[in-house]
Amino acid sequence: MSRTRAWTDGACKGNPGPGGWGVLIRDGHDTVELSGGEPSTTNNRMELLAAIRALQALADGTQVALYTDSAYVMNGMRSWIAGWKRRGWTTAAGQPVKNMDLWRELDQQVAHHDVQWTWVKGHSGDPGNERADALANVGCAPYRRRD
Distance CA 64, CA 21 (A): 19
- Which residue among 9, 20, 113, 128 is the active-site one? 9
9 tagged catalytic: yes
CB-based contacts of 70: which residues, under 8 Å, 6+ apart?
8, 9, 10, 44, 47
Distance CA 106, CA 81 (A): 10
107 tagged catalytic: no
112 tagged catalytic: no
- Which residue among 19, 128, 133, 139 is the active-site one? 133
CB-based contacts of 80: which residues, under 8 Å, 6+ apart?
none
- Which residue among 19, 36, 38, 69 is the active-site one? 69
10 tagged catalytic: yes
CB-based contacts of 88: which residues, under 8 Å, 6+ apart?
none
From the number of C-beta atoms within 10 Å of its C-beta (0-12, 13-18, 19+), residue 106 rates as buried
- Which residue among 10, 36, 76, 128 is the active-site one? 10
- Which residue among 17, 47, 76, 128 is the active-site one? 47
Catalytic sites, residue numbers: 9-10, 47, 69, 123, 133
